[in-house]
Structure 1
Amino acid sequence: MDLDALADLPLTYPEVGATAAGQLPPGYSHLSVVTQIGTGDQRFEEAADAVMSWGMQRGAGLRVQASSEVAVVSAVVLVGIAFLRAPCRVVYVVDEPDVRGFGYGTLPGHPVSGEERFAVRRDPTTSAVFAEVSSFSRPVTLAIKATGPFGAVAQRLIAKRYLRAV
């Protein structure tokens, strides 16, 4: 797949930005995983840089081909594992003093429809740093639908790998 060809494709779901709001829409499978990855300003900045440069995906063992070295709104990214290729577009970026990250949504050709948020958060009171992944999705392809509950288990395993990557 050519990244330029993906740039003008429509997202495959109507609830764009729902992972930023924290209220995941009904009718989808929901996922939310969080873990503390350290403490302090330096740890937060290192993790934020990794998240914003596709470090969660690469660190989880996924292939990443992106239209931008860092996550910016409208950047297109093609994520791959084994034979699966998953085209996405960044739909928002969070750049706040204690939270950094982005959300991307699925494009035609992705095996599921939905959105995923990748972020790091620093607790201003304790300086604890957390990595977070949240998503809503539903299968689109027959192959993914056929995996049944195994698809959800695989998604949770990948999400945990994202967290360990930063």
Structure 2
Amino acid sequence: MGGDEGAARTEVASAAWGPTAPTHRRYERRSRVGTGEAVWGRASRSVLRWGVKTRSGFSVPDDAEVRPGQRLAVRFRVGPVVVREPVEVVEVVRTDDRVGFAYRTLPGHPVDGEEAFVVTRDGDTVWLTLRSLTRPATTRGWALVFPLLRLAQVVVRWRYRRALR
């Protein structure tokens, strides 16, 4: 979390997400990506290279595979305005049926929290699970527009759920 060096709280390695602090808004949604080994391979490779973000309209300066400790500034353009989102990858999971990562926001990000993207397979079906914990950023300017940012999250999450299809 912004300024918090603690362990990841979105628990990307776990199918069941345990209790979280009431200080953050909790979100979890599972969406079907498709079926088959080819879909699994494509989706699992893509999620580890920021594909959910980039296919949702964000730009990421490093297209290398995510790794714990990786810090970068994701960018999102809204008309002429470019929003800079500094983040740090805090957890990565790679198993035979679960692949994904979580990042925490860093100071300067529009919100304070953590977000996770996890691809799983259940039999032949491939799923994308989104998890996030958010609250207003401590930066005064961003904190004032948090209600608008919550509305933007609805749109962005819709894009995330469609990104790997």
Count, aligned residues: 154
Q: Which aligned segments of 4 or more residues in structure 1 are displaced greater than 6 angstroms?
A: none
Q: Scaled by the length of structure 1, what TM-score is found?
A: 0.84
Q: Contact 1:18 / 1:25 at 8 angstroms: preserved in 2?
A: no
Q: Aligned runs of 1:76-115 on 2, under 5 Å?
A: 76-82=71-77, 83-115=82-114
CA distance, structure 2, for counterparts of residue 92 and residue 58 of structure 1: 19
Aligned partner of 2:45 in structure 1 is 49
CA distance, structure 2, for counterparts of residue 64 and residue 84 of structure 1: 12
Q: Is 1:134 matched with 2:131?
A: yes
Aligned partner of 1:4 in structure 2 is none
Task: Report deviation, 1:12.
Answer: 2.1
Q: Scaled by the length of structure 2, what TM-score is found?
A: 0.84
**Which consecutive residues of structure 2, in runs of 5 or more, have no partner in the other structure?**
none
**Identical aligned pairs, as a percentage?**
31
Task: Report deviation, 1:144.
Answer: 3.0
Q: Is 1:75 matched with 2:73?
A: no
Q: Aligned runs of 1:4-19 on 2, under 5 Å?
A: 11-13=2-4, 15-19=6-10
**Which consecutive residues of structure 1, in runs of 5 or more, have no partner in the other structure?**
1-9
Q: Which amino acid aligns with 2:40?
A: F
| Match for residue 149 of structure 1 among 123, 147, 150 | 147
Q: Aligned runs of 1:25-40 on 2, under 5 Å?
A: 25-40=21-36
CA distance, structure 1, for counterparts of residue 112 and residue 4 of structure 2: 6
Task: Report deviation, 1:95.
Answer: 0.5
CA distance, structure 1, for counterparts of residue 108 and residue 143 of structure 2: 15
Greater fraction helix? 1
Q: CA RMSD in A?
A: 1.9
Q: Contact 2:113 / 2:135 at 8 angstroms: preserved in 1?
A: yes
